[in-house]
A and B are shown apart, each in its own frame.
Chain A
Amino acid sequence: MDLAQGFLYLLQPAPLGLLCLGTLLGIIVGALPGLTGGALLALTLPITYRMSSPDAVTLMTAMYVGGISGGLITATLMRIPGEPSSVVTTLDGFPMARAGRPGRALGLGISASLIGGALSWVALVTLSPLLARWALIFGPFENFALVLMALVLIASLSTGSMIKGLLSGSLGMLVSYPGVDETSGQLRLTLGLHEMAGGFSNLAVILGVFAISQVLADAMHVDQKFERLDMGVRGIFLSPRDYVRQSWNILRSAVIGIWIGILPGVGASISSIVAYSTAKTMSKTPEKFGTGFDDGIVASETANNANTGGALIPMITLGIPGSPAASILLAALLLHNVQPGPTLFTNHPDVVNALMATHLAAHVVMYVMMVAGCMLIARLMYVHRAYILPIIVVLCAIGAYAENGRMFDVGTALAFGVVGFALELCAVPLGPLVIGLILAPLAEQQLRAGLMASDGSLLPLVQRPLAASFLVVSVFFFFWPLWRDARRRRAALST
């Protein structure tokens, strides 16, 4: 099945229905501040068990795209970003909407999302096969060094404390160890509990960290009221002149979004922040940013949607997720016994093509749905959280139980919800935890396979050029924040 067949597959009734349903649910959940697209993906996993792999990938990719896009609706109309990646959109979207131009603000965001997504799709279909072919030469030491690099990048590039980022990723790794050790077949870290023999379910941990912890956080804000704006859609369609005027901003922001998406573990939030800052820095009128300026909305929304295609590239070619949400997509593929990595293209071309076709088609469907129904979706914000939050907890319980039929997993999800909530209170980023959880088994398996082949010697890690290069990059990104902060301190002292 080549890419054209991927699109033909999407024209069948069931995949088409899943595409539309996934995109719509993604937009709705993306617009609601109480739940993120990542949580929706986690909640949807159990429903996909009985689907074919391409159907499951279609539904979840559509949700991924819809979730990233939906956040702009409430960010623009209510100054409440439905998704963390839409935080920057509020800076210009809301002032423009409040100035009586909500339709134009939404139109700029929706169009930028479509074009950003489409450009990242081009990168996805062109770069993925090349990267996959290149990755075929990787041995266990290269794979281990690559995963190590990914983990360091996640901690290094997430804004805030690198120590906390590293600790979060390491905690995720530690959580993945209990259960049967696949190399030796021994049970480990079970604390003598027979329920722990199967280890912690990845899905249960993800549900806890992504969804339950958000419920616990939202419960505190249950009395929050949202500002209502006059919701007209006049100006939602941009003129050709608008597109021409924004073309350079769109292209630059898309490249930023794609590049940051490819970097392991760095989500769409960082893409939009970097693209916005770059647009402001390079603008002739930087003072207009933050006052309801077209360029700000376009930069932010182009970048966060471009991030989706970028994040899928390392996920399908190397088995390393480019964002926390992509890590759930990766978990979904693993649950369907589809192993992402360079062999995915030869072993499961149907899955690859369905994913790639859905990524583009979901952006088109998203555009149509958002233009037609954004005001209706915005009204869902006024549904009181008392009616929504309990249902999310029940959905998490169902999702956690459905994977293995164990009540232990329901407890795991709730416990990790509390852990995630506590970590957020301590300002510890949760993204690295989820990615560490997913990547640790791969890293350990590759390291031990390599050590068995080298009679226990770690020397190939520095002797093999690719593995050594990945290690050098890891070391660089580990020490770069140190150097950067030291330089900032010196600059601050000198002024």
Chain B
Amino acid sequence: MTAMDNSASPDSTASRRRDLAFALGILAVCALAIWEARKQPRAPFDPVGAAAVPIATAAIMIVLASVILVRLWLNRSTRGGAQSLFSSTDAADEGYVVRPSMSWAAIALSFAFAAAIPLAGFMVATIGFLVVFGWVLSNRSPRSTVIVLAVGLAGGVGLTLGFRALLVDLP
């Protein structure tokens, strides 16, 4: 495999932990898939059945995840995929602090937004989400707060009316 470039140098602890978490996560998902697929009744006319392909896929994944675990055990590298879908910002100015807490805040607020839609309605939930999330991400100066409020109001009302005009169903 490409990953089988057995670089002698051990991975950093962080990347080894991530690889371990990834492999274990894959094993858990596969175990769940196989457990669920084994409940599947056989269809009389179908030589393969609805369960075979998911089980085969999960089995292959278990083998691959096990290779990662073995490589970790042998202290060998499993190189990362460089073909990222994300647009890179690595090359930009490095004079700023990376704040992982913002990602956690984004996750929590996004799920809260989804939960609030059935309770408060789409427009109100959207305005609230845009204002709160925007404020959390901003530098929280009075100027930013005013802009965030304006963007939230305009965005919430504009998106609601705009998508209704386009006959798109809204949550």
Residues of A within 8 A of B (CB): 33-36, 38, 46-47, 49-50, 71, 78-84, 87, 90, 156, 158-168, 170-171, 173-174, 177, 181, 183-184, 186, 188-191, 209-210, 212-227, 267, 269-270, 324, 384-387, 389-391, 393-395, 397-398, 401-402, 405, 407, 410-411, 414, 417-418, 420-431, 440, 444, 447-448, 451-452, 455-456, 481-482, 484-486, 488-489
Contact = CB atoms under 8 A, between A and B. Distances in A.
Interface string B1-32: 11111100000000100110110011001101
Interface string B109-144: 011011001100000001001100111111000001
Contact of A166 (B30, B64, B93): B64
B157 interface: no
Interface of B: 1-6, 15, 18-19, 21-22, 25-26, 29-30, 32-33, 36-37, 40-41, 43, 45-51, 53-54, 57-58, 60-61, 64-65, 67-68, 78-89, 91-93, 95-100, 102-103, 105-107, 110-111, 113-114, 117-118, 126, 129-130, 133-138, 144, 147-148, 151-152, 155, 159, 163, 166-171
A188 B94 CA distance: 48
Contacts of B133: 389-390, 393
B129 A394 contact: yes
B68 A163 contact: yes
Contact of A481 (B2, B46, B95): B2
A54 B138 CA distance: 41
Contacts of B45: 452
A contact face: mostly helix, strand, loop, or mixed: helix
B83 A160 contact: yes
A489 to B, nearest CB: 6
A455 B47 contact: yes
B93 A429 contact: no
Contacts of A163: 1-3, 64, 67-68, 78
A393 B113 contact: yes
Contacts of A440: 57
Contacts of B171: 397-398, 401, 407, 410
B46 A397 contact: no
A191 B43 contact: no
B110 to A, nearest CB: 5
Given A171-B29, A407-B117, A431 B47 contact: no
Contacts of A168: 81
The 6 closest A-B pairs by CB, nearest first: A427-B80, A429-B81, A456-B47, A162-B2, A160-B81, A386-B137
B87 A167 contact: no
Contact of B46 (A159, A426, A452): A452
Contact of A177 (B43, B54, B68, B170): B54
Contact of B40 (A186, A215, A421): A186
Most buried by A among B46, B57, B155: B57
Given A177-B54, A389-B106, A447-B53, A34 B79 contact: no
A67 to B, nearest CB: 11
Contact of B18 (A191, A387, A397, A426): A426
B126 A394 contact: yes
A186 B36 CA distance: 13
B71 to A, nearest CB: 8
26 contacts: A84-B85, A160-B83, A161-B79, A163-B3, A166-B64, A186-B41, A186-B50, A191-B36, A214-B85, A222-B99, A386-B135, A386-B144, A390-B129, A390-B133, A391-B151, A393-B113, A394-B129, A401-B171, A402-B170, A405-B169, A410-B114, A414-B114, A421-B103, A428-B81, A451-B47, A452-B46
Nearest to A479: B1
A177 B53 contact: yes
Given A216-B107, A389-B137, A424-B86, 6 more contacts: A80-B91, A84-B84, A174-B54, A186-B41, A427-B81, A485-B1
A66 to B, nearest CB: 15
A36 B88 CA distance: 10
Nearest to A156: B2
A428 B81 CA distance: 5
A348 B32 CA distance: 41
B81 A402 contact: no
Nearest to B118: A407
A226 B89 CA distance: 10
A209 B88 CA distance: 16
Given A174-B33, A186-B41, A219-B103, A160 B88 contact: no
